[in-house]
Structure 1
Amino acid sequence: MPDIPREQALAYRIAEHGLHRSAGEVTELPLLDLGLQDSMRDTALLSLAARLSTPVTPESLVDDDRLALVWSHRGAPHFHRRTELPELVSALVPLNDQDALSRMMWQKKELSDTGVSAVDVLFETARAIRKVVTRPMTKGAVSAAITKLIPPSFSRWCRGCGATHVHEQLMRLATVHGGVRLEAGQTPATLAPLEGRERMSTSPAPEAAARVLERYLRFNGPATPGDAAGFTGSARSCVTEIWPSDRLTEVRVAGRRTFVPTDQLTALENPPTPRGVRLLPPLDPFTQGRDKAVLVPDKARAKEVWKIIGSPGAVLVDGEILGVWRTKASGKRLRFTVTAFDPLRGKDRADLEAEAERAAAARGFRDFAVDWA
């Protein structure tokens, strides 16, 4: 079994993530094969700004009709190529009840108490969503409407809303099966029917699901089956059943038995050396890798990068996460506060300020400032 140094594994990931800025426009970015998460304010835009060689603007994603924003992996919103949605939806069909319950994540126990098969819960909710969403509607309006159509056990009392409504994670997982997307750039969250939506299928597609695992390993490998299961939200035992072992090679990274697609071995063995600075937003695909101890071995630093509430962005310097950053808007100015774990070289500080200018422009700010904590 080949032993891959940690630094080499990270250099490989950085190249596969497009952080060398080899792509000039969004649909050329290979990372879209897996999806680009957009869970926080401008997350996807800032992830693009760190990767594309051309300027990114607030309209770069919203106005691109080749993309669709849907609740996909783990029920999180991701941008995907529209042409790839049919296969994606097939891959998101749970393999069995155990898999469906695992994808419910923090609401797993409540939904297991319904007395109904978790797969049936998912698709009964999806049918209600398909019936309700025939035009753009706010998330709140959709939630209220489908709550009236589904059994009471699929809903809960929400103290924050002061109302009883469908479980949040259940709604997120069911929406794409109901042929519904999110309207990009809309506040409050707005749902709309997918153009040309196909008939709903409830049949598992193990091969499509296995390809998602393989793509995770391409961009965030070498990694373990558990890492891949953490990304998809699937039950670990279900991932083991569909593990595409005939297309993978086992290697060892930082003492762990991990896997990488066999057709990526050449890229893993000789990745380009990471150079320069990138500002990665919170929930960037690179820091979404499940093996956090490989990304940031120092536990104290890892706690600064991945906060339980309100994680900052990460400062990537020559392939290592060497600090964190936050922003605060003040009028027409976007102010960056950077906390470096170690003193940065003058060139790195200058490069960071250039990256801050790109990030500010992506969010529509012409003026910016960088404060060093």
Structure 2
Amino acid sequence: MGSPADSVSWDEASARRLERSALATPAATAGPAELVRALCGAHAQVLSAAELSVGIRSAVATRSDIRAALWEERSLVKTHGPRGTVHLLPTADLPMWIGALSTMPHPANPFPEHIRLTDEQTEQVVAAIGQVLAGAELTVDELTEALVEATGPWAGDLVMPAFQEMWPRWRQAVTLAAYRGVLCFGPSKGRKVTYTNPRRHLPSFEPVDGPLAQARLLERYLHAYGPATPQSYAKWLSAPRSWATELFGSLEGSGRIQRIGLDSTPAWVNAGDTGFSQAPPRGVRLLPYFDAYVVAGQPRERLYPGRAAERALTPSGQAGNYPVLLIDGVVSGVWHQRRSGKRLSITVEPLGELSTAHRAALDEQVERVAAVLEGRPELAIGTVTAGAHA
């Protein structure tokens, strides 16, 4: 790490982010929970993508190790995290996450009034969820039945349009219940998702006080992805910019964070965390859908330069919809994998010519991806025809 700096370049920031995300050099000894903590959560809407996100940051871990951490050791929990989306979080960090997420502002309920839960109904559902799941792992249907019995038939009304079907009214409260610390995911029953109460695996935990939890979460984020701005933090959390700006101002005023320049634009780091290496970012990585690094990475135009933005971002600029090829800290292509038994057919579409060194590093990365997913790889360089979320 170099000497303290009051302004850093994109390359310096990128190199430090790669190092702290275990993308510069995969960790030799860190376990799944430690790696997920470093990322500020691993996006797990598709669990296999989360397994790969964590596994490629380790020199040795496979998907079996991540599943063991989640379902056997319980050092990880699958729950709703930043932006209300499903994440893996370290179980030991739930008091901080719940303290922060339950007290920060969130977008208003988007449903029309005749579909919406009232405030009173919401509180009834959240309380009932905590009680019903205290000693059980229930499928959606089983939980619906239990909540209708506990609260009333209105909870089970099929009024929520979702994925070409209608969901029961109570499901509007799922994210809030997770943020209150009374709901998380349990192991699936066949193809059916289950929910349970995280207190079964972390008994008697108490959420960290809201303002303190919010400060700690921001410090975690800045350690991983700083220098960063209130705007990028608000986007990462799907929170109001005004709230994020006020939080940054409060922590700067108390001396917990400090302002420096990122390519001469004001940005923030944790107080005293101003050492940056002069070595340029290096490495070839295959990042899965919604990998934490690309979702949190800002400014987008530096992480997704030129054609990368056209190929790997949505029209609105959302990151993560496509798995990406990361070369020397910037998105340089997309990729896709199709599994058939143990065989993994991996297609990589670079956006430019691969150097000999980069091609050799890509071959090594493909082998590592296959090791994590416990398969046999077949690599093809060519056009990826699969669309987003394929």
- Counterpart of 1:223 (choices 217, 223, 228) is 228
CA contact (8 A) 2:36 2:88 kept: no
The yes-or-no answer on 1:131 pairing with 2:139 is no
The worse-fitting range, judged by mean Cα deviation, of 147-156 and 315-324 is 147-156
- Counterpart of 1:3 (choices 3, 7, 18) is 7
Whole-Å separation in 1 of the counterparts to 2:125 and 2:207: 12
- Cα distance, 1:178 vs structure 2: 4.6
Whole-Å separation in 2 of the counterparts to 1:288 and 1:159: 24
The yes-or-no answer on 1:281 pairing with 2:285 is no
- Aligned residues, how many? 360
- Counterpart of 1:69 (choices 72, 78, 81) is 78
Aligned to 2:184: 181
Whole-Å separation in 1 of the counterparts to 2:270 and 2:10: 17
CA contact (8 A) 1:15 1:271 kept: no
- Counterpart of 1:353 (choices 356, 363, 366) is 363
- Counterpart of 1:295 (choices 300, 303, 316) is 303
CA contact (8 A) 1:177 1:200 kept: no
CA contact (8 A) 1:70 1:77 kept: yes
In structure 2, the CA distance between the partners of 1:122 and 1:94, relative to structure 1 (3 Å rule), is: farther
Aligned to 1:171: 174
SS in 2 for 1:358: helix
- Cα distance, 1:338 vs structure 2: 0.8
In structure 2, the CA distance between the partners of 1:277 and 1:57, relative to structure 1 (3 Å rule), is: same
- Counterpart of 1:205 (choices 202, 210, 228) is 210
Whole-Å separation in 1 of the counterparts to 2:208 and 2:154: 26
The 5 A counterparts of 1:352-371 are: 352-371=362-381
| Identity rate, percent | 24
In structure 2, the CA distance between the partners of 1:151 and 1:22, relative to structure 1 (3 Å rule), is: same
Whole-Å separation in 1 of the counterparts to 2:58 and 2:139: 32
The yes-or-no answer on 1:49 pairing with 2:50 is no
SS in 2 for 1:286: helix
SS in 2 for 1:263: coil
CA contact (8 A) 1:157 1:163 kept: yes
In structure 2, the CA distance between the partners of 1:35 and 1:47, relative to structure 1 (3 Å rule), is: same
Aligned to 1:35: 41
- Counterpart of 2:21 (choices 10, 17, 20) is 17
CA contact (8 A) 2:155 2:168 kept: no
Query: What is the one-letter code of the residue matched to 1:175?
Result: A
The yes-or-no answer on 1:91 pairing with 2:122 is no
RMSD between aligned residues: 3.2
Aligned to 2:346: 336
- Counterpart of 1:306 (choices 313, 319, 325) is 313
Query: What is the one-letter code of the residue matched to 1:190?
Result: T
TM-score of the pair, normalised by structure 1: 0.84
Whole-Å separation in 2 of the counterparts to 1:111 and 1:92: 25
Query: What is the one-letter code of the residue matched to 2:129?
Result: I
In structure 2, the CA distance between the partners of 1:364 and 1:276, relative to structure 1 (3 Å rule), is: same
Query: What is the one-letter code of the residue matched to 1:286?
Result: Y
SS in 2 for 1:174: helix
In structure 2, the CA distance between the partners of 1:115 and 1:86, relative to structure 1 (3 Å rule), is: closer
Unaligned runs of 5+ in 1: none
Query: What is the one-letter code of the residue matched to 2:160?
Result: W
Whole-Å separation in 2 of the counterparts to 1:322 and 1:273: 16
In structure 2, the CA distance between the partners of 1:255 and 1:370, relative to structure 1 (3 Å rule), is: same
The worse-fitting range, judged by mean Cα deviation, of 307-316 and 362-371 is 307-316
Whole-Å separation in 2 of the counterparts to 1:240 and 1:193: 34
Aligned to 1:214: 219
TM-score of the pair, normalised by structure 2: 0.80
Listed one character per residue, the Cα deviations across residues 156-212 of structure 1 (whole Å, up to 9, x for unaligned) are: 332646444136563123235252221357643221222255579799611111211
